[in-house]
Structure 1
């Protein structure tokens, strides 16, 4: 699914393709060096000369602290203290470059609740598992999902994650019908069909220039196009390419510093991409209403809850735009990270391959995938070390308290699960890849109820969690049956761009050695 984009373009220019042919994700060494590297876009805060030194100086700086708001007299609550960081961009340099390590440093220095008084979006950072429990459980309904609105509301308006309370539960009950086990059986068959073709035929072997991240992203987009939208692999390639490009643009637009609908800025490109997606799904919904189909879009057009409630056309459009984004980006990050750690830890790679070898190359189903228990361990450890969903955004709907700190109504709150996943109090030697920490008798992830929350928690826990796990295990099973994964050079460690979901800055080169 290759493409190029010229200056100012929000839609890709697709390469010609013979009708009915399946376009390789990665095809030639030229594509490896040219197309793939251009597909890996990172923030200037990571790539400009001198940014590493600037990050070190900013982390070492002792910023003057000030209170966000004074607590009510006699409340015994503490004021949230914090700082504004640099003018305009606040702490974005440290956040984008350091990710969970930046937050861990702040947690050790300032405690579990602190103010990031950014001029763009002033936010209270809630850190550690106790804060996670308060935010996710939301027992008094003090926290609204509208904390996401300043970041992604313009691009994923009315998506399930942005809904609250009774309305959220109403929509979730209907959508849950699309993720019951009988539906997952059909989705798994479709996932395996796409994965088997791409992994067997499209990826370049024996070449250290092969970039896994863009290849994996194309694969998960192909999967989402088939499972969610009903596009068979190799069909409607130009249309699917444009749709997938639009998803990429909207996903990254939320990090824009200049938030204006004026060309050619990133925010404007995101708005245009959203408009394109709305037109696309509006047309698809009109086509699918009243027709049978096993793809997710068709299911959402048909499904209803026990009281006969159905989604409106607008509901389906909004939910599909959000689900497509949520599904493919998280799977891309997880499968890429797992591949790297398996390449770096051959003993775990062989352990996983032994289980896959017992399954063989026959068709996969849910029962077969459930037998790949070592892949479950590797998956958990990979998303602990590199958590795909870096933060959870909330907004207080009334004056409240968080761990003894006063939060006025309308406060934006961000919880950072990736930082919790690196706490040595929960995970000894937290930077070590050690999947056995998730087995008996250690079960380190159970030391705190909210010590491991890669899929969120509470009422908003990821509705597609099981589907995502099945998809990733299918990818890894087919990959391990065909290739031995090797690092491009001894000791290689990727650096992540934490400007959104983690993206390896160099595209994650990896060597695929054919087993047969």
Structure 2
């Protein structure tokens, strides 16, 4: 494999100061390597033979190249790879990845069985622990069954309507100040600025920390932890992504533990303070350790997904100026410089565009579980101890379920067309079942508040021949920072 990695590439990478050029270079190398690896011969075979007389079908697939399997290909070219596998093996298949056999699901019916888990045999804790456990252990997504339900009941107290209104009140001044301070130009990196804005939001609104050296340190630690969870090389070598992620997690833990007594004694409206006082009607509340775990996970889930959604929606609005003008006219007609909570339902075109961005660029590209007993999905046999991945990103870009799936067409969500209603899980943007995203209303509120302010202040565009290069994080994200031409209105 080393002959795929040209030495000059590494010299160039070490010399580059622009992180986006390094990321683009890294992605180029990954794509080159993935395409070469896909030429490795790997014959189709069943994952496992079903028990005699069960009537179940075997899952067909292939491991791919030794050890790495098809994981590099699925990361480097996620949509082409998903479409190719669907053509070869159908909506329930298996492949090699992370040194293990991984079952992949790609249809709404399969996702329904996966997400609802009526047999209670799909463990989110075991599945996610394998991928991001060292960085986000103890988060709500990494808990199962009764334990998950217990924690969700308490955590829900932090996402009631009154709490969401309070968070919007806290975050609106930050959104206004940050967006108004943007400097127009021909190479304005929109993804970078949105990421910066939402990191500041997470530090202030979630952690309750003041911006400054401590806030910057927290933001960097948080970013390192997120990147660690996306590392391909899963070794704790000094200086590596995994190593920095472990260190970032430790810094976050130390901060939240140190600040806990003050938050428990105070009456703040930030999420950290709210979790310190959250209690159900039955008197259930969080321990100190619970609060630390949930804070680290919620900050990741809310920040990373919203950054991707805002950026990719803005990208499509740059490529579809008629939609940008339609949304701008709607925001101008509202007649308010910033959104109140009650305004979120008064921008119907923005809501359609928001839903379409989630379909095209799913900020959570998939969900993962591990089977704790033999089971089946759609009549296909899956033995205990198998990783199962729900590929929502690929499925929501499949022509079997969506008309012209690669075209930005928000009106597909209009009740007159309702493409998302063809199946209850045709659009699983927020997951479903017991693990349905608890912060979905907060995320929608953040995206709409930011886009509303952007539309009132700026017009933005990209060259006609520009196509954003995407790399896979929690979902597809711009490798180049998304440069746009930004003009003040």
TM-score range, shorter chain: over 0.9
CA drift of 1:122 comes to 2.8
Matches of 1:511 and 1:322, distance apart in 2: 34
Which shifted more, 74-83 or 310-319? 74-83
1:145-294 equivalences under 5 Å are 145=124, 146-201=126-181, 203-205=182-184, 207-231=185-209, 235-294=210-269
Relative distance call for 1:502 and 1:86 in structure 2 (3 A) is: same
Residue matched to 2:102:
123
Per-residue CA deviation, residues 320-344 of structure 1 (Å, 9 max, x unaligned), is 0000000100000000011111111
CA drift of 1:171 comes to 0.6
Relative distance call for 1:263 and 1:498 in structure 2 (3 A) is: same
Matches of 1:338 and 1:186, distance apart in 2: 26
Residue matched to 2:46:
67
Residue 496 of structure 1 pairs with residue 470 of structure 2: yes
CA drift of 1:214 comes to 1.2
Residue 447 of structure 1 pairs with residue 422 of structure 2: yes
Per-residue CA deviation, residues 73-98 of structure 1 (Å, 9 max, x unaligned), is 11122222222222332223321221
Relative distance call for 1:226 and 1:158 in structure 2 (3 A) is: same
Q: SS of the residue aligned with 1:155? A: helix
Relative distance call for 1:60 and 1:355 in structure 2 (3 A) is: farther
Residue matched to 2:294:
319
Matches of 1:211 and 1:275, distance apart in 2: 30
Matches of 2:395 and 2:186, distance apart in 1: 34
Is residue 45–residue 97 contact of structure 1 (8 Å, CA) maintained in 2?
no
Give structure 2 stretches of 5+ with no counterpart.
1-15
Residue matched to 2:483:
509
Per-residue CA deviation, residues 135-156 of structure 1 (Å, 9 max, x unaligned), is 1111111211021111001111
Residue 436 of structure 1 pairs with residue 411 of structure 2: yes
In the alignment, which of 442, 466, 476 is matched to residue 467 of structure 1? Answer: 442
CA drift of 1:248 comes to 1.5
TM-score under structure 2 normalisation? 0.93
Relative distance call for 1:469 and 1:209 in structure 2 (3 A) is: same
Which shifted more, 255-264 or 438-447? 255-264
Matches of 2:388 and 2:39, distance apart in 1: 25
Residue matched to 2:13:
none
Residue matched to 1:82:
61
Residue 342 of structure 1 pairs with residue 331 of structure 2: no
Relative distance call for 1:268 and 1:342 in structure 2 (3 A) is: same
Give structure 1 stretches of 5+ with no counterpart.
1-33
Is residue 198–residue 303 contact of structure 2 (8 Å, CA) maintained in 1?
yes
Is residue 361–residue 475 contact of structure 2 (8 Å, CA) maintained in 1?
no
Residue 352 of structure 1 pairs with residue 322 of structure 2: no
Residue 42 of structure 1 pairs with residue 23 of structure 2: yes
In the alignment, which of 358, 372, 397 is matched to residue 397 of structure 1? Answer: 372
Relative distance call for 1:416 and 1:55 in structure 2 (3 A) is: same
Is residue 366–residue 391 contact of structure 2 (8 Å, CA) maintained in 1?
yes
CA drift of 1:507 comes to 1.0
Relative distance call for 1:456 and 1:440 in structure 2 (3 A) is: same
Q: SS of the residue aligned with 1:289? A: helix
Relative distance call for 1:126 and 1:101 in structure 2 (3 A) is: same
CA drift of 1:309 comes to 1.2
Q: SS of the residue aligned with 1:511? A: strand
Is residue 106–residue 390 contact of structure 2 (8 Å, CA) maintained in 1?
yes
Tell me the C-alpha RMSD between the 2 structures: 1.9
Is residue 214–residue 507 contact of structure 1 (8 Å, CA) maintained in 2?
yes
Is residue 45–residue 96 contact of structure 1 (8 Å, CA) maintained in 2?
no
CA drift of 1:430 comes to 0.7
CA drift of 1:40 comes to 7.4
Relative distance call for 1:322 and 1:107 in structure 2 (3 A) is: same
CA drift of 1:459 comes to 0.8
Residue 143 of structure 1 pairs with residue 118 of structure 2: no
Is residue 128–residue 420 contact of structure 1 (8 Å, CA) maintained in 2?
yes
